[in-house]
Amino acid sequence: MSNDLLQRGKNIKLAIFDVDGVLTDGRLYFLEDGSEFKTFNTLDGQGIKMLMAAGVQTAIISGRKTPVVERRAKNLGIPHLYQGREDKLVVLDELLGQLNLSYEQVAYLGDDLPDLPVIRRVGLGMAVANAASFVREHAHGITVARGGEGAAREFCELILRAQGRLDAANGAYL
């Protein structure tokens, strides 16, 4: 993990996640009745809970809208959920106004072009390993794990480590 990423992670007060391709593997599953389902990684969920326990606020911004994401956010206790919002930078500005935070205090994990303006604007903008190449090129860092396969947990642990809340030697949460 680079010193630059750790330095960027020190002052993070808000971590924002995209959903499709970040908290999920990016596949869309539709049932005969038109409903959809998604699979989420429990490691990612635990990482998000660890961030919140450390005092870092969390949010989800997704271009799609589905009850499954609402349920997942509620189960994890994520207080800020924005769905069906394609212009994620506008949402970011709304959220920063609400929480009285600056761009430098925000970390964002994304995977595709709608995430790029936010990734480029925030203090710690990261892409998952299987993100679109253009997004990876402009991110501050790239996770080793793929979206839906522990990338969010890796992102959370980076922030916790940067803030002295995760012991790098043994992985213990402090």
pLDDT per position as a tens digit, 66-101: 999 999 999 999 999 999 998 999 999 999 999 999
The pLDDT, as a whole number, for residue 28 is 87
Q: How many domains does the chain have?
A: 1
**In this model, does residue 160 exceed pLDDT 90?**
yes
d(CA 174, CA 168): 11
| Higher-scoring residue by pLDDT: 30, 93 | 93
User: Is 62 inside a domain boundary?
Assistant: yes
The pLDDT, as a whole number, for residue 36 is 85
User: Is 72 inside a domain boundary?
Assistant: yes
Q: What is the mean pLDDT of residues 122-135?
A: 98
Judge contact between 110 and 131, C-beta under 8 A: yes
User: Is 173 inside a domain boundary?
Assistant: no
d(CA 141, CA 153): 14
Domain containing residue 40: CATH number = 3.40.50.1000
The conformational region for residue 148 under phi > 0 = left, psi -120 to 50 = alpha, else beta, is: left
The pLDDT, as a whole number, for residue 174 is 58
What pairs with residue 106 in β-bridges?
A: 14
**In this model, does residue 50 exceed pLDDT 60?**
yes
User: Is 174 inside a domain boundary?
Assistant: no
Q: Across all residues in the chain, what is the average pLDDT?
A: 94
The pLDDT, as a whole number, for residue 31 is 87
The pLDDT, as a whole number, for residue 133 is 97
Query: What are the helix and strand counts (H, E) for the chain?
Result: 7, 8
**In this model, does residue 63 exceed pLDDT 90?**
yes
Q: What is the mean pLDDT of residues 49-73?
A: 95
Q: Which residues lie closer than 8 Å to 77 by C-beta, 6 or more apart?
A: 49, 52
Name the pLDDT band for 149 (thresholds 50, 70, 90): very high
Name the pLDDT band for 167 (thresholds 50, 70, 90): low
User: Is 109 inside a domain boundary?
Assistant: yes
20 labelled as ligand-binding?
yes
User: Is 159 inside a domain boundary?
Assistant: yes
* Element (DSSP H or E) covering residue 141: strand 141-142
The pLDDT, as a whole number, for residue 40 is 95
Task: With CA atoms as reference, report the closest residue to 12 among 89, 109, 103, 94.
Answer: 103
What pairs with residue 173 in β-bridges?
A: 166
111 labelled as ligand-binding?
yes
Q: Which residues lie closer than 8 Å to 39 by C-beta, 6 or more apart?
A: 24, 25, 29, 148
Q: Which residues lie closer than 8 Å to 132 by C-beta, 6 or more apart?
A: 111, 112, 113
User: Is 171 inside a domain boundary?
Assistant: no
* Structural domain of 147: 3-165
**In this model, does residue 168 exceed pLDDT 60?**
no
User: Is 81 inside a domain boundary?
Assistant: yes
**In this model, does residue 34 exceed pLDDT 90?**
no
